[in-house]
């Protein structure tokens, strides 16, 4: 029997099934990596939700308490150091000490780090580090500051300087880490171009088998319905997308199809969008209780997922899950990163100005919508399972460790 590799994995959260794409990907990666790897997991988290579930796949799990984001000392540290706020927010003496102690007391074949902004906490070591960057962070924040309005324009120079620092450090770790893994081919090309490295690896994001193997338990709504979600609304890209729909797409859709309803579903959705609630705009949290608030319920209940994205980066877990559940997607070119579709066959990629029109046409054409959903399911089930994704990651591990 082949000896298992010993992996030290470090994550900026406690991996669990959630509306956060990163947490979801980490959870299922660990689940399927466990067969060939002994994983010691160090999480930087504010809570311990999901701890017992992830423990079943790990040799050991250590949770290091993370403080509040907006602390004065972090803001001052950002202002007087070379680190951007995102990195400063994840630098922790407790985390540094925990990692150092673990490396001193145990032997590991490699270190797997999710997200570059944890890297300053890892001491200098000869152990190969695999940096998995789920998205290109500086590009996301660069897009964000270009869209700031009102009073935030007063601090625009500070925001821009912070993005420059973010780009510097993200690029630094891309250049100086043993192995870098991107979540989308588009990101892989960008990282290769910036760094000059030709060895940037690719992780094909996936979806758990339950989404495309289980038969629908929920009957489609009797009225036309569109969904945004199921997403973590704390992530700025998701909030921007909701605002884009509310501002431009929803009025046109509602005018053309008066009986249509819009579901804004996800983590912290009521915190941000409760003021939009009407009889036709439903705003709810989502969880994995298997009932009416379960993500799969909304994927099976609604007619289409509408999600124009203002910026790209990584791949969208909600798209993979929705398509696996036979729910077609209408998005912009920035949205479908990491998922290779045949346009207008498995889903729709279009210019922002055409989102409403394509949504209306799809809602009015039952045969086209159902066929597109079936084709989406075939695509995801054939190419985008987490089992296949982890095979690729295991191969990367194997080449590094020769195990």
Report angle CA 89, 95, 98 to the nearest 5 degrees. Answer: 175
Q: How many residues comprise the chain?
A: 403
DSSP at 120? G
160 has pLDDT over 70: yes
Q: Name the burial class of residue 5, with classes exposed (0-12), middle (13-18) and buried (19+) by CB atoms within 10 angstroms of its CB.
A: buried
Q: How far apart are CA 133 and CA 126, in angstroms?
A: 21
CA Rg value for the chain? 21
Q: What are the structural domain ranges in the chain?
A: 5-206+386-401, 210-383
* Confidence at residue 288, expressed as pLDDT on a 0 to 100 scale: 67
313 has pLDDT over 60: no
Residue 310: pLDDT band by 50, 70, 90 thresholds? Answer: confident
pLDDT digits (tens, 9 = 90+) for 115-127: 999 999 999 999 9
Q: Map residue 264 onto helix, strand or coil.
A: strand
109 has pLDDT over 80: yes
Cα 8 to the chain's mean position, in Å?
21
Q: Report the pLDDT averaged over residues 4-14.
A: 96
* Confidence at residue 267, expressed as pLDDT on a 0 to 100 scale: 85
Closest CA to 115 of 163, 185, 43: 43
Closest CA to 99 of 73, 129, 76: 129
In CATH, the number for domain 5-206+386-401 is 3.40.50.2000
Whether the domain at 5-206+386-401 and the domain at 210-383 fall into the same CATH topology: yes
Rounded to two decimals, the pTM is 0.87
> Which structure tokens are listed for 194?
């910036």
Helix (H) and strand (E) counts for the chain?
17, 13
Reported CATH class of domain 210-383:
alpha beta
Q: Report the pLDDT averaged over residues 347-352.
A: 96
* Confidence at residue 290, expressed as pLDDT on a 0 to 100 scale: 58
Tokens 């495309």 belong to residue: 212
Beta-carbon count within 10 A of 373 CB: 22
* Confidence at residue 277, expressed as pLDDT on a 0 to 100 scale: 96
Please count the CA atoms within 13 angstroms of the CA of 106 that sit on its side-chain side. 18
Of all residues in the chain, what percent are helix, strand and coil, respectively (each to 5)? 50, 15, 35
Q: Report the pLDDT averaged over residues 56-75.
A: 93
Query: Which residues are CB-neighbours of 296 under 8 A, at least 6 positions away?
Result: 210, 211, 214, 217, 218, 321, 325
Phi, psi values for residue 168, rounded to 5°: -60, -50
399 has pLDDT over 70: yes
Quick one: which H or E segment has residue 113? strand 110-114
Percentage of the chain exceeding pLDDT 90: 66
- Among 135-144, 150-159, 214-223, the minimum mean pLDDT is found in 150-159
CA dist 271 → 46, 129, 155, 183, 263 (Å): 19, 38, 25, 29, 15
pLDDT digits (tens, 9 = 90+) for 161-210: 999 999 999 999 999 999 999 988 889 999 999 999 999 999 888 888 77
Residue 336: pLDDT band by 50, 70, 90 thresholds? Answer: confident
């Amino acid at each position: 029997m082949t000896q298992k590799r010993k992996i030290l994995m470090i994550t900026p959260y406690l991996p669990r099934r959630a509306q956060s794409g990163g947490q979801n990907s980490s959870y299922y990666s660990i689940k399927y990596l466990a067969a060939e790897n002994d994983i010691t997991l160090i999480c930087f988290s504010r809570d311990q939700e999901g701890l017992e579930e992830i423990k079943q796949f790990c040799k050991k799990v250590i949770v290091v308490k993370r403080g509040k984001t907006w602390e004065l000392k972090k803001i001052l540290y950002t202002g007087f150091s070379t680190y951007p706020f995102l990195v400063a927010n994840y630098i922790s003496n407790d985390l540094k000490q925990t990692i150092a102690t673990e490396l001193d007391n145990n032997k590991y074949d490699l270190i797997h780090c999710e997200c570059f902004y944890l890297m300053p906490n890892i001491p200098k070591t000869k152990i190969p580090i695999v940096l998995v960057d789920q998205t290109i962070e500086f590009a996301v924040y660069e897009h964000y500051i270009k869209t700031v309005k009102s009073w935030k324009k007063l601090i625009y120079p500070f925001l821009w300087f912070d993005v420059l620092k973010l780009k510097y450090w993200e690029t630094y770790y891309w250049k100086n880490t043993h192995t870098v893994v991107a979540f989308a081919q588009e990101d892989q090309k960008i990282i290769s171009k910036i760094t000059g490295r030709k060895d940037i690896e690719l992780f094909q994001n996936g979806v758990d088998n339950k989404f495309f193997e289980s038969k629908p338990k929920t009957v489609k709504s009797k009225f036309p319905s569109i969904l945004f979600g199921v997403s973590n609304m704390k992530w700025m890209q998701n909030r921007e997308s909701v605002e884009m729909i509310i501002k431009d797409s929803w009025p046109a859709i509602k005018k053309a199809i008066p009986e249509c309803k819009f579901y804004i579903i996800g983590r912290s959705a009521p915190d941000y969008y409760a003021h939009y609630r009407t009889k036709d705009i439903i705003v709810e949290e989502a969880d994995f209780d298997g009932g009416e608030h379960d993500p799969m319920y909304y994927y099976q209940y609604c007619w289409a997922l509408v999600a124009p994205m203002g910026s790209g980066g990584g791949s969208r877990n909600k798209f993979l899950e929705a398509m696996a559940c036979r729910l077609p997607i209408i998005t912009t070119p920035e949205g479908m990163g990491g998922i290779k579709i045949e346009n207008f066959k498995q889903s729709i990629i279009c210019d922002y100005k055409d989102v409403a029109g394509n949504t209306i046409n799809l809602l009015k054409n039952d045969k086209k919508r159902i066929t597109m959903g079936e084709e989406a399911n075939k695509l995801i089930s054939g190419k985008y399972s987490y089992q296949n994704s982890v095979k690729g990651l295991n191969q990367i591990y194997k080449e590094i460790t020769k195990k």
